[in-house]
Structure 1
């Protein structure tokens, strides 16, 4: 009978940042940028401080404005690709179980890195891959612009208000908020400004993330 039909609710999706959220690669990033800075005679700590807030081409413009940005990028890519093959890193505790239990097609990766590196790291850490990865090459504007997260929602066919962003960094949190999405912070000692919920670890957040994806909870709770 028509009166017995239940109208399905809006489909929800989880949009994950990668480095610092699913993959513990902070030390790797620091080593790569230190090696890059060494090639150009720059202060490694200063370069890394800028790199945390900007995409590579923007970083080069700030720390090495007299250098050819394409050659700078080639050097960085060489170092990062080598790290994917031989670097020592791991998935955060609970990542494999969480991703493996999410409904198929209900999650996506949104990264400032490049897809081939993400695939390499996920393969080495035995993490499952989603069907959609929005990487640095997919957008003209990176985080903190909302463009990467809005593109991910568009590719998934989900409205921004039905998306949950999982982030660890201020620029990613800002990107998710500007996209009109719920944003939860993980893997930080305290909440990043603006997050709707904060969890000290990904494992701590996992039950709530699964509940959201299965339409059992609200991203704004807590």
Structure 2
């Protein structure tokens, strides 16, 4: 167990235990944008430039608050409807396609992993857990980001919300991920950075670690995050992962004892 003395630390202990409840862990799932890489600023720049070209908002660039409220973590359909409520959906989606092409050109030059990602990836690999990327981004974007981050061989599946019955915040992308990996929700946990993604994971029955790269922390907690971390070097994360290690060691020890008892 994670043990602290203050009320805040006691609360954190409860959150750590929610991850340990997935022991024996079978799989770890990851969102991509904002979770594997701090890509929101690049999306923001791409939106700003293309929106300015069409005179959106009387030529005033969209700010961070507008981007977070109307675009970040949204599916293309939702973002198009938020941006252009008076447009035909097809026209809005064409704008989104152009924006994604602009984003990809920026990503090839400037995409960076979230701090500590390599350490977490190694932990997952060392434990032999199954893993999938689950995203609302178009597949071409998802596969590009995974490649740029050097994770093409890490993920065993890439699930795209637009290819599911409904994208996040509906649970279907995460439900498809555990189906493809042939694991249970009870033995899987998720890393996400948006309220939309967190709601999807919670609705799918899995605890979610919220990575507070850009979105307001209160919105992540309100969406149902089990643990809130700054990045993958956050001591709170490693306290939770160490608890998983301890609980799995206990299970192995108990299993070995049972086997020895049966053989005797």
Q: Name the TM-score class by shorter chain.
A: 0.7 to 0.9
Aligned pair partner of 1:80 in 100, 106, 115: 100
Aligned pair in 2 of structure 1 residues 197, 20: CA closer, same or farther (>3 Å)? same
Could you list the per-position Cα deviations for residues 143-171 of structure 1 after superposition, in whole angstroms to 9, with x for gaps in the alignment? 21111111111111111111101112111
- The number of aligned residues is 209
Given candidates 133, 149, 153, the residue that maps to 1:109 is 133
**Distance apart, 1:96 and its partner CA:** 2.5
Tell me, yes or no, if the aligned pair for 1:60 and 1:72 is still in contact at 8 Å: yes
> Superposition RMSD on alpha carbons, in Å?
2.8
Q: CA deviation at 1:177?
A: 1.0
Alignment partner for residue 96 of structure 1, among 101, 118, 128?
118
1:12 maps to: 26
**Aligned with 1:202: secondary structure?**
coil
| Partner SS for 2:52 | helix
Instruction: Flag structure 1 segments of 5+ consecutive residues without an equivalent.
Output: 1-8, 218-222
Any idea what SS the aligned residue of 2:233 has? helix
Superposed, 1:33-182 pairs within 5 Å as: 33-43=47-57, 44-45=62-63, 48=67, 49-52=69-72, 54-87=74-107, 88-103=110-125, 106-128=130-152, 129-182=154-207
Q: TM-score, normalising length from structure 1?
A: 0.80
**Distance in 1 between the 2:66 and 2:77 partners?**
12
CA distance in 2, matches of 1:214, 1:80: 43
Q: Write the deviation string for residues 71-105 of structure 1: whole angstroms up to 9, x where unpaired.
A: 33233223322322333220112212322442356
More helix by share: 2
TM-score (norm: length of structure 2) = 0.68
**Runs of 5+ in structure 2 lacking a partner?**
1-22, 250-264
Equivalence for 2:227: 197
Q: 1:183 to 1:35 in 2, by over 3 A?
A: same
Maintained 8 Å contact 2:42/2:106:
no
In 2, the alpha carbon distance for the partners of 1:75 and 1:214 equals 50
- CA deviations on 1:113-140 (whole Å, 9 max, x unpaired) are 0222122122223234412011133213
